[in-house]
Structure 1
């Protein structure tokens, strides 16, 4: 690692193969915590290249625990995190609404490194037990229409760096990797990014997959549709900027989507919203993200139809039923 760091300190970048080899070394425990922290710091001081990100991704996927979902065409909704906004668990809530609307979901999540409560934090608080076996995951999909993949169980490298990431409490390149390494290899992806540079990089990478995708970026810095401002929307068909009024029927304030100060508060808020008792603003934000995900599947070419399906999923209680079924399967 000393030679690698010296190379990077000279303002040089890694080849795709070199980046992959380093990630494999991290996953195999070749480097100590101090070396890993130093390596991560380099990429907090400069932009990551597409080649480096591709190499890191290949390394993670080569080591990951394989998942077989029996041919189900699943969706994932995930943000990179690291936007520093500390919103409630919008992506995870949207996943349950999408599941309630009939689209199977394989949610890839982790503990919060830069926020109070990541997807894994809130799922634990809700009583869910992480699983890794294909039989268990497929049973979740069959009965609840959604399964949850806790990233460190499937990616040894992510478990290795968890302490360093938590100690930093800042955005690292691992935030960028999370949405790209879902072991279920979802057919559809809604990915939220924290800046336009990452939107460009994701657009390039996701175009290579040939699968339907949607990238979203709140123009005031959110890695999701926040309805606090306009949203940049990029798909494999093109890009546009949409207003909060178009996406969610209204503009909301940042305070409306605050996620609380503890995982317990985040879970309490989650239960309130999934039960249909959230505020107008909270519901609007979750529904907009769910609607954009549903539109990504191609089953709802018209956004208004996708939004109506999301509203029905939440207000009918089907979304909550998906959550209840998932938590009950222990």
Structure 2
């Protein structure tokens, strides 16, 4: 089947959801040779991934993953796809601490860096926090503290062979777009950043097909997050309907900050800057972009009545020391030491 899929993609024809699910089931089983997998990923990227392709692939990969223990209520996730090329600090990782400290339960799914300076797991380890190694452990963490981190490499064991191909390619692939959709907890509330504006709507539609209740999919002036350098293109998914929006940084009250101010060279630098922000002595740009994105998640989760109120609430959590306390709790809980 993968040969036929490759031929279709090379001709510019998108796969339907069933075809995509069948293809990615074979990939998860290790039935697709590395050279063929590389060709498929390049062909998908060059054509541009569709909502059906993403939803079909995510459904197949979630079926291959361990089952997350049942829980009451809702949980949220915040995740950027990476692949925007800017090598910024781990905004979504910091946001998870802030939002959980504000009272929204978060199961953050992430992995190691492939196209960035620091992946979510890299930053957590540099912060002295060990992500959960299983769905059961993550379930206990979120039940006890309101926050859990789960490593994609530990739950999506079938995809370990894919990582080598992705590293060798060294460019954004379909798996960047799929990453935020593969959280085994299947959060009903999601803030997702994408690397190009053309993916805002397809990713929102894929999340809709996957049953997500509310999501804000964003691309901020070249970055996979709500931006403070220029307008952020958004798709707001709420109860089955999708609305296109634009967020202007001027409406957030955080000033304007160029993306260069957010660059990091390593996971260690990213962790140090997040910790400094939580201690109240970090860079203005770091605190502002963390508050902007935390505010977005607080808003769609219903914790704050508007995006502006969400930003104010996020800043309050940081300034009060609650984000720092959440970090310290998870560092102690997992036995880490920064």
- TM-score range (shorter-chain normalised) is over 0.9
Contact 1:227-1:248 at 8 Å conserved across structures: no
CA distance in 1, matches of 2:83, 2:163: 15
Tell me what 1:295 maps to.
299
The correspondence of residues 240-279 of structure 1 with structure 2, limited to 5 A, is 240-258=245-263, 260-279=264-283
Q: Tell me the TM-score normalized by structure 2.
A: 0.90
Q: Which is further off, 289-298 or 154-163?
A: 154-163
- CA shift in 2, pair 1:139/1:280, >3 Å: same
Q: Do the aligned partners of residues 93 and 248 (structure 1) sit closer, same or farther apart at CA in structure 2, a change above 3 Å counting?
A: farther
In structure 2, the residue matched to 1:239 is: 244
State the shift of 1:33 in Å: 2.1
2:129 partner SS: coil
CA 1:276–1:169 in 2, change beyond 3 Å: closer, same or farther? Answer: farther
User: How far apart are the structure 1 equivalents of 2:150 and 2:98?
Assistant: 17
Report if the CA contact (8 A) 1:69-1:134 is conserved: no
Q: Is the 8 A contact 1:248 1:284 kept in 2?
A: no
Supply the distance in 2 between the matched residues of 1:204 and 1:192 (Cα, whole angstroms).
14
Shift of 1:265: 2.0
Aligned mates of 1:58, 1:76 — CA distance in 2: 17
**Residue of structure 1 in register with 2:67 after alignment:** 66
How far apart are 1:235 and its partner, in Å? 1.3
CA shift, 1:115, in A, is 0.3
2:329 paired with 1:325? yes
- The answer to whether the Cα contact below 8 Å between 1:248 and 1:287 also exists between their aligned partners in 2 is no
Matches within 5 A, 1:193-212: 193-208=194-209, 209=211, 211-212=213-214
Question: Which sits farther off after the overlay, 289-298 or 29-38?
Answer: 29-38
2:134/2:154 contact within 8 Å kept: no
Distance 2:99 2:42 in 1: 37
State the Cα deviation string for residues 90-115 of structure 1 (Å, max 9, x = none): 11111111011111100010111110
Partner of 2:30: 29
What is the CA distance between 1:156 and its match in structure 2?
A: 3.0
The 3-state SS of whatever aligns with 1:66 is: coil
TM-score, L = length of structure 1: 0.92
Q: 1:278 to 1:19 in 2, by over 3 A?
A: same
Tell me what 2:40 maps to.
39
After superposition, the Cα gap between the structure-2 partners of 1:210 and 1:188, relative to the gap in structure 1 and judged at 3 Å, is: closer
Inter-partner Cα distance in structure 1 for 2:118 and 2:25: 28
- CA offsets 1:123-175 (integer angstroms, 9 cap, x no match): 12222223244442233223432101111222234322111112222111111
Are 2:216 and 1:214 equivalent residues in the alignment? yes
Rounded to whole Å, the distance in 1 between the matches of 2:308 and 2:233 is 18
Residues 267-313 of structure 1, C-alpha deviation per residue, up to 9 Å, x if partnerless?
A: 22222223222112211111010011000012322333322221121
Partner of 1:81: 82
Change (3 A) 1:205 1:135: closer
RMSD: 1.9
- Report Cα offsets for 1:10-42 as digits up to 9, x if no partner: 444323222212211111111232222122121
| Inter-partner Cα distance in structure 2 for 1:281 and 1:129 | 27
Q: Deviations over 1:173-232 (max 9, x none)?
A: 1111111121101121111122222111123233342612112221x2111012011112
8 Å CA contact 1:145–1:322 kept in 2: the answer is no
Change in 2 beyond 3 A, CA 1:307/1:3? closer
Q: Secondary structure at 1:190's aligned position in 2?
A: strand
2:107 is paired with a residue of what secondary structure?
A: strand
Task: Report the CA distance shift for 1:96/1:22 in structure 2 as closer, same or farther (over 3 A).
Answer: same
1-side partners of 2:252 and 2:266: how far apart? 29
Summarize the Cα distance change of 1:231–1:6 in structure 2 as closer, same or farther, 3 Å threshold.
closer
Give the unaligned 5+ runs of structure 2: none
